[in-house]
Amino acid sequence: MAPSPEDTSTGLAAQDADAPGFRVSLSNFDGPFDLLLNLISKHELDITEVSLSKVTNEFISYLRDLDGPDELDQASEFLVVAATLLDMKVAGLLPQGELVDAESVALLEARDLLFARLLQYRAFKEVSAWFARCLQREDRRHVRAAPLDEKHRKKTPELVWSLSVDDFAALALLAFAPKEIPSVGLDHLHAPLVSIREQAAVVVTLLRSTDSLTFRELVSGVSEPGIVVARFISVLELYRHAALSFEQLEPLGELTLRWSAENWSDEQLATLGADYDR
């Protein structure tokens, strides 16, 4: 029994002022939060005129008076919607100028995409009401589900059992373990981790072996950006320890490094860059 499309739309239309849920009261708008969204998505209310901080404040005080799972649902919904509103608002507030240059076109597109996203989100939110109704209705239904009577039970093929008692215990462990879904590792998407300490050791060795060195020379032959960054951070860290001095004649110019430590022990490397540890 498929519900007609009208089913869904009546659900959507039920957004009168008496609807339960979070209401906002602004100088230019008073009504349920959902309606605010509706108006904005139809351009009947300019997003730039809505005070998001005011909406947020009202929402937080509204949440204080709520209890139970409703609160969590409403809060998470608010976050979804508020994040989208904020994006829209940023796009709406940025000056767009008279000229139609590439940048403002991109800006308009960005705003349009955000509208699309908001509308898409709303569509799913609305149709989820249909899911809730169907699930609730079907929860009440009773299906024929009675055990087979004795004589039919006997006709079932004899059970093949192949588990040892240890297998069985292992299975129990599995059954009692909290259910986790397998996650896909993202490690392969990231560059391998680079150790600042290791790179600092390289920097120290290179600098101590010569009078002075430019940063360009320090990273010559290195192709991984991560290592270049790590060497640069090492330089900053070593500077903090007064182990080196540097000289730069003009902004963005060549950086010349000179080893200047008076009492350096390689043990100091052990704590170097600890701020960057995770």
Partner 1 sequence: MTDEEFRMSEDAALETTLETPLSERVEAILLVVDEPIALVALAAAVHAPVPAVRQTLETLVDDYDGRGTGPRRGFELREVGGGWRLYVREDHDDLVADFIGGQAPARLSQAALETLAVIAYKQPVTRGQVASIRAVNVDSVVRTLLARGLITELFADSETGAINYGTTDQLLQHLGINSIDELPPISPLLDDGADGFDEGVTR
Chain positions 29 to 88 lying near partner 1, rule: CB under 8 A, are 41-43, 69, 72-73, 76-77, 79-80, 83-84
Distance CA(115)–CA(110), nearest Å, equals 9
Count of residues that bind partner 1 according to CB under 8 A: 83
Site string for partner 1, 133-152 (x = CB under 8 A): -xxxxxxxxxxxxxxxx-xx
CA distances from 62 to 28, 30, 70, 176, 214 (A): 19, 15, 12, 40, 60
Show contacts with partner 1 in window 94-113 (CB under 8 A): 112-113
Distance CA(28)–CA(48), nearest Å, equals 12
* Sheet with strand 244-248: strands edge to edge: 212-214, 255-259, 244-248
CB nearer to partner 1: pick between 76 and 210? 76
* Candidate segments 94-102, 154-162, 191-199, 204-212, binder of partner 1 by CB under 8 A: 154-162
Does position 117 bind partner 1 by CB under 8 A?
Answer: yes
Q: How far is the CB of 143 from partner 1 (least distance, A)?
A: 5
Does position 13 bind partner 1 by CB under 8 A?
Answer: no
Show contacts with partner 1 in window 224-243 (CB under 8 A): none
Distance CA(190)–CA(185), nearest Å, equals 10
* Out of 99, 165, 191, 249, the residue judged to bind partner 1 by CB under 8 A: 165
Sorted by sequence, the CB contacts under 8 Å of residue 49 that are 6+ apart come out as 28
Q: Determine which helix (DSSP H) or strand (DSSP E) holds 47, and give its type and residue range.
A: none
Does position 182 bind partner 1 by CB under 8 A?
Answer: yes
Helix (H, G, I), strand (E, B) or coil at 206: helix
Does position 192 bind partner 1 by CB under 8 A?
Answer: no
Strand partners, 255: 248
CB nearer to partner 1: pick between 121 and 246? 121
CB nearer to partner 1: pick between 7 and 101? 7
